[in-house]
Amino acid sequence: MGEPTLKAYHRNPVTLKEQEQTIMVKLTAPDIKKEKADLDIVFVLDVSGSMKGAKIASMKAAMKELIKNLGEKDRIAIVSFHGTVKKHHDNLTYLASDDDKKMANKIVDDLQPGGGTHIQKGLEAGLDLLEERRQKKKVASCIFLMTDGDENNGSKAMNLIDRVGKHTIHTFGFGQKSNERLLFDIASRSHVGVYHHVPNTGVKDDLQRAFGSTLAIFRTICLLDLKVTLKASKAGGCKILKVHPCDYKKDPDGSDGTWTIHFGDLARQENRRILVDVSLPKASKTEETHVLDVTCTYSPPNSVSKNGNPLAVKIKRNQTADENAPEEKQVKRELVRRTQADILKQVRALANGGKLQEARKQVLVARNVLSSIGNDSDDAIDSLYSELDNLDKFLASPDAYKNLGHAYLLACISSHDRQRYAARGGEEPVDFFLTDRMRKYLGKPK
């Protein structure tokens, strides 16, 4: 059975004087091909009138591809909604045989578009199915919520926000008229969901690729309910000043400088990065200061919760260390990525206020930050540049921003916040957080 690995990156060595340092803790899920969690997935699908024609055909093709790739121990339920809602399953149903898959495909084939868009009723039915499961075994569970329009018929999906936080909800905005802000809010307020933008460019497999990239993660979940705990070393006299896990729940544990981050479920080869600002006391001689203790707990598929191998983070101290030394390369990359994510939020605020020129200036700021990293061949740096190249085009005019730019920005922000791949559109490929499994599914080279 593979174990998750913990590794720390930081300046090393540092001087003897009292100081602050930034440490990046990186947890990587093992590359386990045979051990994976079974799935419970509820598909909540918009079949309103605006889905007629090519859109409903695209959605049906995407669903059939998903059904084909699900395993015999996976369970699904399908909910369709327009002005009203229909549960096509009373409970989550196994896809244990060819007949089970044929039945699921028939449900998909029989979906007919028409009527309004009551997202609240659809989402509520999906949440009910997850919460009323008769067999609550240790599985990876989530909702796929797909819609191409804005709420109407009295729908107020944000009324469900308290329930949303207990589950993982991946949202898919299909086309240019979906309520991208609502879908972003639902995903970000859910446990560990991501918002995806599918621009409906006329390529019939756009939605299929967006669904499939997410399923590629869930088909290889190998760590369930992952928690990482950081504790400052009392022996080293160090203190944790701040913990930056991106948009994941973090809990302080008493007054002893301990923090626990809740990452949910991780797929094979996925990783999560935590930036930790620490203070180091003055040292009187050359030594190795014990700074942090890092531990993790998780449940392997079909097993009980267990502890992973701990990590003791230590930093060398000596008089000859260069106090102006640059950040360690991995830390620098992560700081640059997070700076870009913060700038994207500023760009969105400016563009939403009609200040496109000011927004484009912020994109230039982000480019300057990227250039500060120097000659770096890491693929993630290429993706950061591609992200900005796409954004420049979407900020070219008010119509371009309204039709595609705003949704693109939200998908970028969602991906950065969750450290997980998001479909987003754009001419230049942005491959943040792709695992080998996802690359294989999407036909992308390593």
- The CATH number for 20's domain is 2.60.40.3670
* pLDDT reported for residue 75: 95
Q: How many CB atoms lie within 10 A of CB 1?
A: 11
Residue 322 within any structural domain of the chain = no
Residue 288: Cβ-neighbour burial (10 angstroms; 0-12, 13-18, 19+) = middle
* pLDDT reported for residue 369: 96
Query: Do 79 and 178 reside in the same domain of the chain?
Result: yes
Query: Do 16 and 61 reside in the same domain of the chain?
Result: no
* pLDDT reported for residue 28: 96
Query: Do 71 and 215 reside in the same domain of the chain?
Result: yes
Residue 108 within any structural domain of the chain = yes
Residue 162 within any structural domain of the chain = yes
Q: What angle do CA 236, 238, 239 make, to 5 degrees?
A: 155
Residue 397 within any structural domain of the chain = yes
Query: Do 196 and 130 reside in the same domain of the chain?
Result: yes
- Element (H or E) spanning 241, and its range? strand 239-244
* pLDDT reported for residue 313: 98
* pLDDT reported for residue 233: 92
Query: Do 346 and 200 reside in the same domain of the chain?
Result: no
Query: Do 18 and 43 reside in the same domain of the chain?
Result: no
C-beta of residue 435 within 8 angstroms of C-beta of residue 222: no
Q: How many domains, in total, are found in the chain?
A: 3
CA 254 → CA 152, 214, 231, distances in Å?
46, 37, 11
CA distance linking residue 5 with residue 338, whole number of Å: 23
* pLDDT reported for residue 196: 96
Residue 323 within any structural domain of the chain = no
Query: Do 82 and 210 reside in the same domain of the chain?
Result: yes
Query: Do 70 and 213 reside in the same domain of the chain?
Result: yes
pLDDT in tens, the chain (446 residues): 689 999 999 999 999 999 999 999 999 999 887 788 999 999 999 999 999 999 999 999 999 999 999 999 999 999 999 999 999 999 999 999 999 999 999 999 999 999 999 999 999 999 999 998 866 678 999 999 999 988 987 889 999 999 999 999 999 999 888 999 999 999 999 999 999 999 876 555 788 889 998 999 999 999 999 999 999 998 889 999 999 999 999 998 756 789 999 999 999 999 999 999 999 999 999 999 999 999 999 999 888 899 999 999 999 999 999 989 999 999 999 999 999 999 999 999 999 999 999 999 999 999 999 998 877 767 889 999 999 999 999 999 999 999 999 999 999 999 999 999 999 988 888 988 988 777 876 766 55
Q: Is 110 left (phi over 0), alpha (psi -120 to 50) or beta?
A: alpha
- Out of 317, 346, 377, pick the residue that ends a domain: 317
- The whole model's pTM is what? 0.95
Beta-bridge mates of residue 224: 299
Q: Which two tokens stand for residue 440?
A: 């294989």
C-beta of residue 328 within 8 angstroms of C-beta of residue 12: yes
Residue 163 belongs to a domain with what CATH number?
Answer: 3.40.50.410
* pLDDT reported for residue 431: 87
Query: Do 11 and 48 reside in the same domain of the chain?
Result: no
Query: Do 181 and 261 reside in the same domain of the chain?
Result: no
Residue 423 within any structural domain of the chain = yes
Show Cβ contacts of residue 70 under 8 Å, excluding neighbours closer than 6 positions: 39, 41, 76, 95, 101, 215, 219
Residue 348 within any structural domain of the chain = yes
- Out of 287, 317, 347, pick the residue that ends a domain: 317
Q: Which two tokens stand for residue 139?
A: 């599985």
Query: Do 176 and 231 reside in the same domain of the chain?
Result: no
Residue 324 within any structural domain of the chain = no
Query: Do 17 and 59 reside in the same domain of the chain?
Result: no
Residue linked to tokens 């809990």: 251
* pLDDT reported for residue 285: 94
Q: Is 240 left (phi over 0), alpha (psi -120 to 50) or beta?
A: beta
* pLDDT reported for residue 444: 63
Domain residues for 148?
A: 39-219
* pLDDT reported for residue 255: 67
- Out of 203, 219, 235, pick the residue that ends a domain: 219
